[in-house]
Amino acid sequence: MAGQGRKRMWWLLIVPGVVVAGLWAYLQHPKFGTLPSGEHLATLEASDHYGEEGFHNRVETPMFAEEASMASVLIGNLSDKSERLRPERAIPALDTDLRALDVDEDIVVWLGHSSYYAQLGGKRFLIDPVFSDSAAPVPFVNRAFAGTNGYGAEDMPPIDVLLITHDHWDHLDYPSVMALKGRVDRVITGLGVGAYFEGWGFDSDRISEGNWFDAIALDGDTTLHLIPARHYSGRLLKRDRTLWTGFVLETPRRRLLFSGDTGDGPHFEEIAQRFDGFDLVSLDHGQYDARWPYIHMTPEQAADAADRLGARALISAHVGKFTLARHAWDEPMQRISAASEGRDYRLLTPVIGEPVRLSRDASQSFEAWWE
């Protein structure tokens, strides 16, 4: 009996040790990235958006509603019986040869969720590419909907600028970034996010970081502006050590806005004051939840924001590929369609891979692909 007790004691010591060692080893995977340190961190700390706990929003932005917490969200998700969180059939998509598009034509192509390929002013941009089947630290969590992964790095033409809005897994995807490494001329992102790319072996001379409302002149007559978003950052346990941002792409002919993840807030009025309207805006409105009302927009809030921004056209973001919130997968598209009726802008609803030709946006028609 004593021998059996000692054996049980050894197992009680060994098994937790093996689990802890395995977890530690897994967390060393390069996909978790490297946060800023040393002189890089000191530079970030000088930002007017950096405080004792890292970067912060322009207005107070709790992570959760007053009655919610991370624990209650996790427990609630496990016990939740919501239906239709994922589509029963594959999401429709168009197999467009992006490499064959005339680079001199201004085009935006939605690639699912918040990923876009864009051509503007003779330059090719790729925004938050996620070609993986999962957007989470572990591969079996947060799987992409069937039909949404038709594009990969090998389908991209040479990219002039890779834009990353923030470091969350559904926007900064390690396998996609590494597969694009030889196809990207330059990376532009928010303060601190460049540390990930340096850790992944990207040439530091080709990485640019910016603060909100910084303007970066590109070759020719194209200017890239970083704009505020109301959100947060963090890839593992440490939060807000890198800056979250949106982007404005501007030429003398056109101006496009990609909000990145954001809640509603006065930053939209501030953006509107700095720019004289937008030909097209892409606004987050697909992962809203009453438990986190400050960090993502509802479709109705996005519709109001598009009006406040003086948008001529609105295209959806944060929809159609992953389930993060507990609403039906197609509810965001139903609600944004209803909320857009009678507005001054035009709602554009291309399928994944369908080019939006900005010179013809008034004549192009798009189907309600979610129906």
Tell me the per-residue pLDDT of 100-119, one tens digit each, with 9 for 90 and over: 999 999 999 999 999 999 99
Residue 334 burial (10 A CB sphere; 0-12, 13-18, 19+): middle
pLDDT band for position 83 (cuts 50, 70, 90): confident
239's CB contacts (< 8 A; 6+ apart) are 53, 54, 232, 233
pLDDT for 10: 57
In the predicted structure, residue 57 carries a pLDDT above the cut 80:
yes
Q: How confident is the model at residue 132 (pLDDT cuts 50, 70, 90)?
A: very high
Q: Where are the domains of the chain?
A: 98-360
Q: Which residue has the tokens 């295209």?
A: 315
Q: Which pLDDT belongs to residue 141?
A: 82
Q: Span 98-360: which CATH code?
A: 3.60.15.10
What torsion do the CA atoms of 335, 336, 337, 342 make, to the nearest 10 degrees? 110
Q: For the whole model, what pTM was predicted? A: 0.93
Contacts for 59-68: CB closer than 8 Å, 24+ residues apart: 59/230, 59/265, 59/266, 61/230, 61/231, 61/232, 61/263, 61/265, 61/294, 61/295, 62/294, 63/232, 63/292, 63/294, 63/295, 64/291, 64/292, 65/290, 65/291, 65/292, 65/293, 65/294, 68/291, 68/292
24 has pLDDT over 60: no
**Which pLDDT score, from 0 to 100, does residue 64 have?**
87
Q: Which residue has the higher pLDDT, 138 or 287?
A: 287
Is the pLDDT at 369 greater than 80? The verdict is: yes
Cα–Cα distances in angstroms (integers) from residue 11 to residues 1, 14, 19, 22, 111, in the given order: 15, 5, 12, 16, 49
Residue 78, pLDDT above cutoff 80: no
**What band does 237 get if pLDDT is binned at 50, 70 and 90?**
confident
Q: How many helices (H) and strands (E) does the chain have?
A: 8, 16
pLDDT at 191 over 60: yes
Whether residue 19 has pLDDT greater than 60:
no
Q: Are 312 and 361 in contact (CB under 8 A)?
A: yes
Count the alpha carbons within 13 Å of 313 in the hemisphere toward its beta carbon: 21
b/e for 7-26, b at 16 or more Cβ within 10 A? eeeeeeeeeeeeeeeeeeee
Both tokens of 215, joined, read: 């303007």
Q: State the amino acid at position 199 in one-letter form.
A: G
Q: For residue 71, is pLDDT > 90?
A: no
The tens digit of pLDDT for each residue in 308-325 reads 999 999 999 999 999 989
Burial grade of 170 (CB within 10 A; 0-12, 13-18, 19 or more): buried
The answer to whether residue 51 scores a pLDDT higher than 80 is: yes
Mean pLDDT of 208-234: 96
Residue 161's nearest CA partner among 194, 126, 130 is 126
Give the confidence band of 127 by pLDDT, cuts at 50, 70, 90.
very high
Q: Tokens in use for 104?
A: 């001199």
Q: How far is CA 337 from CA 68, 198, 254, 293, 331, in A?
A: 29, 41, 25, 21, 10
Look up tokens 């001379």; give the residue. 205
pLDDT recorded at residue 183: 95
